[in-house]
Structure 1
Amino acid sequence: MKKGINLLMTLILIGVLPLLIAGITLCSVSMNKLSNNLERDVYNKLKVAAEGLDMYYSWDVIHTGKAAYEHNYVDNLLEQGIEQTLFLNDTSYITSIKNISTGKRDEGIKADKTIYKTVFSGKDYQSDNVMLGGQKYYVYYTPVFDGNHNVIGMAFAGEPQAIVRAQIRSSSSVLLILTATMILLMIGLVIGVAMKIRTPIASICTCINEFAKGNVGKEPSIKSSIREIHTLITSAATLQSNLKNIAANINRNLITLEANMGNVTDGVNFYNQASKDILLVVDELAQGAFSMEHSVTKCSTSIENMDEKITDISGLTEDANENSVAVRTVSEDAKNMLNELIKANSHTISISEDVVNGIFHANEAAEKIRQVTNAISDIANQTNLLSLNASIEAAHAGEAGRGFSVVASNISNLATDSANSAKEIQNIIETILHISENNVKLATEIKNATDQEGSVLNQVNKSFETVSSKISDTTEVIFSIDNRVKVLEQQKAVIIDEISTLTSISQQNASSCDKTNASIEEMSASTTDIHKQVLDTKEVSEELKELVSYFQI
């Protein structure tokens, strides 16, 4: 009896106490490690979400300075328990967090000063116990940069602390239960071994040895009437069943893990290919930006050439304006001279009437007077032809001044001839005072000719008025052209300013493409690291699979 008690106590002291100490220590360390790993996983998950939020809105922020106000993206991780918020400066702009008390989105809320100061220095910020919307969160903040790499906001991702802590407690409870179960099983095994006195001890040892070899597929067939031995047998059978289930579960989990790793690998490969495609598109955008800059430069050169042409046109319009003024002056002078000629014609008509009265009785020199009147008639005919030419010249306003000058000169010559003929008539009248039978008839014809000449001169005067009106219209058109040229010069200056702005924008686009290219290359490097980690996980999975294959189910 004493030997039994001593053996039991000895086995308890040797096996149970160290097992308890090791189990408790291992459980404490494992729980702490598990808690740290879970928190690290949470922060990594939140970091990926925050960086994804930053990448989603970065193009709008860089090019417009403000993101589009919509909640589709910030709400897409709510099923996973992750909240997202985009801050502009220190104020929340778009968020998925709803205040517990109001049920409304926490938008327009200022960020904590400490967090704001840390993130706006260009650093990421992570912490727990951060109160948002009426509850505590695990949070991760990352800065949002504009095109000049200045911090203009923050991308936030967070998970309710209660959910994370519940997961930690759940995992710790499972670990604690498993540890306690294993300790109890081991204690039962030690007590059973200590209580066995006879063959069942050896049989159970044999079974345990089989378990140690990995043969867990066959249940123990040991029987004993001793309750303790029976309990030990039952514990051995339970151990065999648990080991078998654990091995089977590990095998199933390994299969699932391999499938998940394959999916992750496919996702990484797809992401790498997408990054390469984006790089190609960004390169094309950069080339387009450089091409646009070149085209804008050529356009600027063309505008400069157009500026020179506009300057030339402005000078020509000024010269045309001066010439039109000079033509108008000449036309007015010609019109004044024609008015003087009309007055002289009126005076001639008056004199011809006096001649009719003076030669009423001059009948003897009728033949010579007829010859002289014929000469006067020829001169009148020539005057009529010249006036017709003057009318034709008036229709061609471009050469109006010169045409009227020629006509006026011819009319002057005809007037001189008329004067000479008049003197000859006077001489003849002096010699044939009493010979003028047909003088009255001839004098009447002279009067009619002078009347016709006056009518023609009036028509020429009207033509001069028409030419003067056309010259005035032409002058107004030239003034209008000059004003439009000035407006065109003003528009040219605006176009040059816009082209300068467009050149600056194309240069900024090229710079932004370079920065985007660099960011995508950094992301590609990160995916390469992830791919490497996936491969390492696969290797660990293979090793675990090899170890589990030791158990023969």
Structure 2
Amino acid sequence: MKSIKNNLIISFSSALVIICFIISASGYVSTKNGLENLNQQSINQKLESDLAAAEMYVKNYYGEFKYNNGILTDQNGRNISGVNEMVDKIQEDSGNVATIFVKRGDDFERISTNIIDGDGQRATGTLLGKESEAFQSVVNGKTYIGNADILGISYVTAYQPIFNNNEVIGILFIGLPNEQADILIKDILMNSRNIFIMITLGTILFGIIISLIIGKKISDPIIFLTGMIEKISNYDLQLYQSGKKDKYLKRKDEVGKIAKSLEKMQKNFIELIKVIDNISNDVALSASELSETSEQVSIAANEVARTIEEIANGANEQASDTENAANEITELGTLIESSHNYIQELDLSSDEVSRLKEEGILSIKELVIKNEMSKKETQVINNVIINAHQSAEKINTASQMIKSISEQTNLLALNAAIEAARAGEAGRGFAVVSEEIKKLAEQSNQFTGEISLIINELKEKMETAVQIMNEMNKVVEEQSVSVEITRTKFENISLSIEKTKEVINKLNASGLLMENKKVSIINIIESLSAISEENAAGTQETSASVEEQTASMEEIAKASGALTKLAEEMNQSISKFQY
């Protein structure tokens, strides 16, 4: 019963662990999402405030931007390209990266920045790129705030367009590396995770304690009731005398009902066993008296039956011997008839074997003819493959000639192109023609290369085919020898079959003679058997009546003995119970 208690504890604990894990995981995910959203809002607000601060820096350093012939200047007309004091000051004060873009054609170029590239240089002169996340928003005159990849580093960015007469002439950029933006959220998430882990472990520990208490409360009654059932199964019907039993009997739930039912069952068993014990004693006494009476009657009947049986045995033995002789002769006749039938079947089988032998010889002759035809056809195929191999060699030679011609043509086309180049404008048309001739020569050279590969592959396969055909010729020769050996063996089998048929004919004649003798002997034995049966009939009838009486008394004696034994077994079974 300890396993039930353990199973209950494990089940409750497992369910509690799963529930706690789900609640903790959900809480952690919700907290993480909330913190990420809050962090994103905080970063966006910071960027908006940093943009406002950057505008103040612009007014302090440059006043108002002016745009003349693709050049961005301050209000005094000074070109600000390469002037980095303002962006460096922004990085020094706020830790942000900053850049000023100027419109350059359909894109925007960095002209002032504190972003350093992989070579340790400022990233001036580089373009924003139309594929940038912020490009479309800025072109439409809108401020873009979001993530962007700059020179392989991920930033949280703000791009604000610079206007001149309602036209976008540049961009003011502020950015913060994502690594810096994520530091705060990572610390908060780590602390939240630790808190959730501590809460989960505490809840699991509390749940295990509750599971132990509940498991003990459920398993104790089951253990007690199981003990009662085990006592009954071990023939112990003595009632419990303990306060624990009274406690369970007073319960109003299913445990109380089971305890009351078990106690009632014990009492009913005790009463039933006492009644059975009394009845079995009475049955044993009556059976013993009946057994003694039947034994006395059986002894007298056995003496009468023994005398009659001795008289009948002589007649029965004579009839039995005669009948056995008749049966033996009948069996002998059956065996002779079966032997005759088997000989006839063997004769038919030998005829069938002879016919199959003729067909086999005919098949072997046909196989010899077909083998010769196969040998000739194999030789023809071998010759065809050899001729094809020679043709492939010729094709390969021709393709090599074509390749050589195409290389010469390519060289001539190159010379013609050189001459056309020297001729200038007058040789332009000739240069085009020479170029086309060059392409055709290159294609011819390519095709001849492919043809050579195919021809080489074909030659390898033909050589393999020639080897296979040579092996097939050897196999055909060996097959011819095997066919000749088989034909010789079939001829020897034919001679053996003829000799077997002669022996079968002799056996058939002997079987007919034995059949005639069998009929005569059976007639004689049947006459003797009829006389013996008439002599034994009278004594058998007298003996049968005595035997019936004796058998009846024996059955009574057996029944009384069985009844006595049954009563003893019943007493032994009842004695196992303790009550």
Could you tell me the TM-score, scaled by structure 1's length? 0.34
Taking structure 2 as the reference length, the TM-score comes to: 0.32
